[in-house]
Amino acid sequence: MQLRELKVPDSYEISQKQFGDTRGLFLEWYRFDRLEETIGHRLEIVQANTSVSKRGSVRGIHFADIPPSQAKYVTATYGAVLDYIIDIRVGS
């Protein structure tokens, strides 16, 4: 799992290394220790969701105004996703 900080502070691109063989493929899509080491605090996952969208769908704009806010971990298990990060914090 490789993490790269993006231009918006506290946002990261997470890339997984895939291992393939004749049986198929394996990847480690989440490692709490690597993420904690990179962002400087533990990410407590309290809810996980899956959605299936038709091509061209827009799923909405979300934000949380309660400390410590809400982290999002977006992934595409099939196909592709286009995810926008917009910093609406005061002073951004």
pLDDT tens-place string over residues 61-72? 777 776 666 777
Cα angle: 47, vertex 30, 60; to 5 degrees: 50
Q: What is the pLDDT of residues 8-53, one digit of tens each?
A: 888 888 888 889 999 998 988 888 888 889 888 888 877 878 888 8
At 24, the amino acid letter reads G
Cα angle: 46, vertex 39, 76; to 5 degrees: 60
CA distances to 5, 22, 42, 53, 56 from 60, in Å:
23, 39, 27, 12, 12
